[in-house]
A and B are shown apart, each in its own frame.
Chain A
């Protein structure tokens, strides 16, 4: 029997959630608040959004963010698929080495990775900018993608690919006709997940963008240092929506995939003739 939690604990939990989400709610409200100084409710407006959309810098940064997200997502997922397929047939020690680097990239503080990459890129006299940010995002995104792809791959018996080979499919055709279609849901989830991780990243983007490239979250960080203008709220809500929507898509794909994979349709009884 579960003992009832003391009411203090419940109250504390509620308080934590209020502190976590209230600021977000305030941001959303203020993004449509007509009061320019954001001290009181001045009526509903969408002019801050219009203003943000018309701002040249914001538009450029949005495009940069999108470019970085798409590029880093696709590169990461390609790396993840290749690594996962390789790991399946690799020797135990090589596989452990891959797992170690994968989890390392997730566990290590991003600021450490970003600093290291920053120093490395400067040493090589490589330019900071969009490419550098993409590389920085691939470092962690490829790790998350690998985890997603490997989880799916673990549920696929190797005999399916053996059967395809046995039926006359060359290795390339086996990938086309069996491995890829069966991995497709996981690949989609990995793409959406890495898109959203990339889109709201600040640390790597800040370190590696230099003066050449600025992403939306970095712009936000710069703006709030001066003052929280109404447009800042609008941009924040925009970033939040884009991230949330991609993440929600990933969740939907994952659930649908899960229900196909796990919930078996009621089997016809084993009656023959």
Chain B
């Protein structure tokens, strides 16, 4: 895991006060970001959050309305795309249909006037790296989606860019192939040591590969951190929801306990000591986020108890998901592992429990004025 702190080298990518407006529309609303050299960094968020626009600005395919972009300490804001030391893997690969695999991969080398011999050697190396040796003569159309993806990757990596930008590169693949390609991408990134900036709307994909992730919402970054921290300690309700299914319980802060914990009045759940985001004040209306996998039925477990009725059971193989009607507390979701012998049935009335320390307090949604952060 890499951090930007205490690093003497300039960051691979630095964005300062980046904004992009399209008339009335704001795609990117002020982003500051530093991505360390060699990092696998993901930008995630729902569609329309500005992640792709941000990536395209870094690539130079889009011009920012204001702000600066630097690559390895060099300001490239006014450098045209074809002169930037970054390369992109496009969502639908954008392989050149009139060129074969070899020519596609050699495209950028030809622009740099690399000699024939060197070109052959480097393309061959790349084909080996992405596991496509022997397919030099194939046209993109004759390749499967996964193979096309590898060609797109090789075509960019062969140029040894300072940063590789990936725009939802696995979006067009089916689930099984996605999982495989995730491993391949991670392996390749470790092998070549190039900084990867990865854009996706799939938080699971981002979590499984990245050193750090930034969650974007309405053109701004809501939170940056490593996946574990982001999942366990979301700073806003939006992040809590986006990075995974979460149950919400209303809470009111009654006392600040120090070391990031609060004593909260949670209505029928009682008064509980719950960790949470910094900066909540006594009297604040908050929301306690509880992950579905933190809820159990074992007697004596945890310190929060809610009475509920199972309304839906979805068996998903390794896990079973339950939807629980918890009366005045609303509905809750629970995930239990498959080795849990006692599968609950729809209609079962039961006590559901969770540990207060597994919950997490965030400020209540300020309502429709979402831009206020």
Contacts and interface: CB of A to CB of B under 8 A. Distances in A.
A166 B177 contact: no
A265 B144 CA distance: 11
B203 interface: no
B61 A167 contact: no
Given A166-B59, A265-B139, A269-B144, 12 more contacts: A157-B92, A162-B81, A162-B88, A163-B94, A166-B88, A167-B107, A167-B108, A167-B155, A168-B108, A169-B111, A270-B177, A272-B177
A161 B82 CA distance: 11
Interface string A234-272: 000000000000000000000000000000110111111
B82 A162 contact: no
Contact of A166 (B81, B91, B131, B181): B81
B137 interface: no
Most buried by B among A157, A268, A271, A272: A272
6 contacts: A159-B94, A160-B97, A164-B107, A165-B82, A166-B59, A267-B142
A170 B96 CA distance: 16
Contacts of B121: none
A167 B94 CA distance: 12
A171 B82 CA distance: 9
A269 B91 CA distance: 20
B97 A182 contact: yes
B98 A162 contact: no
Contact of B61 (A157, A165, A170): A165
A268 B107 contact: no
B146 A167 contact: no
| Range class of the A interface residue count | 20 to 34
B67 interface: no
Interface of B: 59-61, 80-83, 87-88, 90-92, 94-98, 107-108, 111-112, 131, 139, 141-147, 155-156, 159, 173-174, 177, 180-181
A170 B92 CA distance: 22
A270 B155 contact: no
A163 B174 CA distance: 24
Interface string A162-188: 111111111101000110011000000
Given A167-B111, A168-B111, A268 B90 contact: no
Given A170-B82, A268-B147, A270-B145, A163 B88 contact: yes
A168 B144 contact: no
A273 interface: yes
Given A169-B111, A182-B98, A162 B90 contact: yes
A272 B130 CA distance: 11
B144 A268 contact: yes
Contacts, number: 85
A168 B94 contact: no
A270 B95 CA distance: 18
A268 B96 CA distance: 19
A165 B59 CA distance: 10
A186 to B, nearest CB: 13
Nearest to A267: B144
A146 to B, nearest CB: 23
Interface string A128-164: 0000000000000000000000000000010110111
A165 B155 CA distance: 13
Given A163-B88, A166-B61, A268-B147, A181 B111 contact: no
Contacts of A163: 88, 90, 94-96
A273 B181 CA distance: 11
A173 B111 contact: yes
Contacts of B59: 166
Contacts of B139: 265
Contacts of A173: 111
Most buried by B among A157, A165, A170, A271: A165
Given A168-B112, A270-B174, A160 B142 contact: no
Given A166-B81, A167-B108, A265-B141, A273 B131 contact: yes
